[in-house]
Amino acid sequence: MAATPSPVRDRPPVDATPNRRRRVRPLLADVVRAQLRRAILTSEFPLGSKLPNEEQLCDRYGVSRVTIREAVRGLIEEGYLVRRQGSGTYVTRRPSLRNSLDTNFSYTEFLEASGLQVGKQVLGARMTAADATIAESLDVAPGSTVAEIRRIRTADRQPVIYSIDFLPSDIIDSVDQRERFRGSVYRLLGELGYAIDHAEAVLEPVVADRELARILDVAQGAPLQHLRQIDFDTNGRPVMLSLEWHVPAVVELRVYRRGPGPVAGAAGTA
C-alpha cells in the first residue's frame, strides 16, 4: 500500500493580498482529483476495485465531503471511475490520458499528476511580428511584437502534444532564457501577475502533414486533434494564444455534456 498522502487543508483558493494582482490557486477539488488520479494510474486503486467511501476519502485527504464529491465527479467525467447504483464507485478501464475541455489546466502538471515520466522540449523561441489573426486574438495592433514559443511534451518518452504559444511583448519581452519555458507557462504567467481565469477554445480534427508527423513521431496522414485556445487573465485580458496538436491515441480531448434533464411536453419522445 502506498503511503497515505498528507492531508490537503480546506482553504480559500484566492490570494487576496492587497495591492497585488490576484493570483488564483488550484481549486481544492482539482488538487484532490489529481491525487486520486495518480492513485488510480499507479494501481493503488486497481482496475475494477471499489473506491473507498466518502468518509474514508475525507480522512485520507483532510477535506470536506463536498470537495470529495466534486473530485470524484470529475474523475467519473474523465472516465476513470464509474458509479453503480446501490453498490458504490469503481475504477473502470484505464483510459488514455483525457483532457476534459470544460476544465482548463496546465498540461505539465496534469501529466506529472498522472504518474508518468514527463518531458518537455523547447523547439524554438523568438520575438516576432503579430499577423492579423494573432493580433486579433491578443487584442494588439497588427505588426506588434509578440513572443512565440514552440514546445513538445512527452509522456514516458512518447510525444503527445506539440504547441505554439504567442504572448504579448509587455508580458514576455525576451526569449533569451529558454529554460523558463520548460515548465508550466500558466505557472510562469501567475508568477508575472497574469493568473489565468478562463479560456476560449476551438477543437477540430486534422491529419499530420510531413512536419507534424516528424515532430510527433506519427505516420504522415495520421489523425490528430488540433486545439486553438485563447487564455484570459483575471482582468479579462487575452494574454496567450495557443495552437496545439494532440496525438489522440495518447491524449484524448473530450467534453462531458450535462442535461438537458426533464423537458416539458417531451414525455415518450426521443
205-264 residue pLDDT tens: 999 999 999 999 988 898 999 999 999 999 999 999 999 999 887 776 776 667 787 776
Say how far apart CA 7 and CA 252 lie, in whole Å: 30
Residue-wise pLDDT tens digits, 142-166: 999 999 999 998 887 889 899 999 9
Question: CA 115, CA 38: separation in Å to the nearest integer?
Answer: 6
Rounded Cα distance, 241 and 134, in Å: 7
d(CA 195, CA 187): 8
> Is the distance from CB of 96 to CB of 249 less than 8 angstroms?
yes
Statement to judge: residues 70 and 187 lie in one domain: no
Residue 137: give the domain boundaries: 98-254
Place of cell 489523425: 223
Please state the domain count of the chain: 2
The set of cell numbers assigned to 126 is 523568438
Task: Identify whether residues 102 and 230 lie together within a single domain.
Answer: yes
Same domain, 87 and 137: no
Residues 109 and 239 in one domain: yes
Of 94, 123, 147, which one is at a domain's C-terminal end? 94
